[in-house]
Structure 1
Amino acid sequence: MKEQDHDRLLRIKTEGIREWQYQSAHYNRYEATPYLALEVLFDEYTCKSSDKFVDFGCGKGRFPFYIHHHLHVSVTGVEMSGQLFQVAMENLARYLERTKPSRSTIQFEHLLAEEYKVDLEENRFYFFNPFSIQIFQKVIDNILLSVENYPRAVDIILYYPTSEYIQFLELQTPFELLKEIRVPELYEQNSDERFIIFRYE
């Protein structure tokens, strides 16, 4: 299924790339995870209906809409850009018009990732290389603080991961590498087209 066809199925608009008007050292451009990659990820990575996801730097919301629709799990998208957050909310309004009521929830928060207060039930955290290593470290510290207050197993899912993200998790945190999932059709052209999943139990 083509990207626009999948968007149409979910009644959302998430295509395109958005560069920031003023170049930032800490925030990367918006680009949605390819639907093909998401299909590969969730063919190999299982989750339960009780899992709660957070997508940091969610942009227009493709990842939250995809997992809410296909996996029936609760998810929160966190986005610092007012423009992208507005698009995500417009997408949400259209998406909910056709979505049957369920126990799982989908919502978006407009704030900096490092200011997001991690809910005690949230246990799956997704990053598509949204910001600098300095911000990533602060977000991971917030996640670990939440785990310290309410012990639980948590996963960090990285798509198109940077070596800085991986080295930080491996060398400076209690997270351990769980799995690498390559996107075959894309990996042959670019070895960064993969998911790296870390777990802390």
Structure 2
Amino acid sequence: MEQNETQWDKLLKIKTTGRDDSHSDQYRYPYEPTPYCVLERLANGEWIGKKNTVLDYGTGKGRVCFYLSYQLRCRSIGIEYDERIFAGAEENREHAVSGGRTSFVHTTAESYAVPETADRCYFFNPFSVEILQKVLARIYESYYENPRKILLFFYYPSDEYVSYLMTQEQLLFSDEIACMDLFAGNNPREKILIFEVV
């Protein structure tokens, strides 16, 4: 597993391994990159293509953006509030093989105005349900202003996230990508839930 992580970072010419919880609190959770094997599984589906623009909420050092832009030729925008980690993402962009299709915004997720081109959103438990509510309101706003097919991807969702998402009238549960077989321990949270904005 570790070897795969390092190999992909090397291939993409980025540095994204490791965990950072120096600025986490009850609302914003630690930086921890999505494992590449999970991103491979996501990329192998039909959900994201080169015409899509992916928003990665709590992008950290930008792994999701760089990987998806490289593999799928899509555009990607990473949103990161932590100045120090954001600087790491920007530094990665200077060297990354897919840097041209990737951009980063230094702001809080809830204050980010969703561009009308964005139609895919990725979340790896970046923040609390309180913040998620505000982020979803921003996504719905963008959808109503410019109706389009918007898919939301939630990797390793907490029970709290799942309960909240299932009550959202504007969201339709669309699919699930099983990832449990990729790791030891049979953890039922090892999955990506996919919702469509309706």
- TM-score, reference length from structure 2: 0.93
Task: Show structure 1 runs of 5+ residues with no match.
Answer: none
Counting matched residue pairs gives 195
Query: For residue 9 of structure 2, what is the aligned residue in structure 1?
Result: 7
SS in 2 for 1:134: helix
Matches of 2:107 and 2:82, distance apart in 1 = 8
Matches of 1:121 and 1:154, distance apart in 2 = 10
Does the 8 Å CA contact 1:187/1:194 hold for their aligned counterparts? no
Question: Displacement, 1:48?
Answer: 2.5
Matches of 2:130 and 2:46, distance apart in 1 = 28
Question: Displacement, 1:45?
Answer: 3.9
SS in 1 for 2:122: strand
Of 133, 138, 142, which residue of structure 2 is paired with 1:142?
138
Task: Show structure 2 runs of 5+ residues with no match.
Answer: none
Of 171, 192, 198, which residue of structure 2 is paired with 1:195?
192
Residues 11 and 144 of structure 1, relative CA distance in 2, 3 Å threshold: same
Amino acid at match of 2:54: F
Matches of 1:13 and 1:157, distance apart in 2 = 23
SS in 1 for 2:41: helix
Matches of 2:119 and 2:16, distance apart in 1 = 25
SS in 1 for 2:79: strand
Query: For residue 85 of structure 2, what is the aligned residue in structure 1?
Result: 84
Question: Displacement, 1:121?
Answer: 1.3
Matches of 1:51 and 1:114, distance apart in 2 = 22
Query: For residue 71 of structure 2, what is the aligned residue in structure 1?
Result: 70
Residues 48 and 2 of structure 1, relative CA distance in 2, 3 Å threshold: closer
- TM-score, reference length from structure 1: 0.91
Question: Displacement, 1:100?
Answer: 9.0
SS in 1 for 2:153: strand
Residues 162 and 99 of structure 1, relative CA distance in 2, 3 Å threshold: closer
Correspondence 1:35-184 to 2 at 5 A = 35-95=36-96, 98=97, 105-183=101-179, 184=181
Residues 20 and 100 of structure 1, relative CA distance in 2, 3 Å threshold: closer
Percent identity (aligned): 34
Query: For residue 25 of structure 1, what is the aligned residue in structure 2?
Result: 26
4+ runs of 1 displaced by more than 4 Å? 98-101
Question: Displacement, 1:10?
Answer: 0.6
CA RMSD for the aligned pairs?
1.7
Residues 99 and 110 of structure 1, relative CA distance in 2, 3 Å threshold: closer
Amino acid at match of 2:156: Y
Question: Displacement, 1:169?
Answer: 2.0
Query: For residue 185 of structure 1, what is the aligned residue in structure 2?
Result: 182
Question: Displacement, 1:49?
Answer: 1.6
Matches of 2:49 and 2:75, distance apart in 1 = 10
Does the 8 Å CA contact 2:5/2:35 hold for their aligned counterparts? yes
Question: Displacement, 1:16?
Answer: 0.1
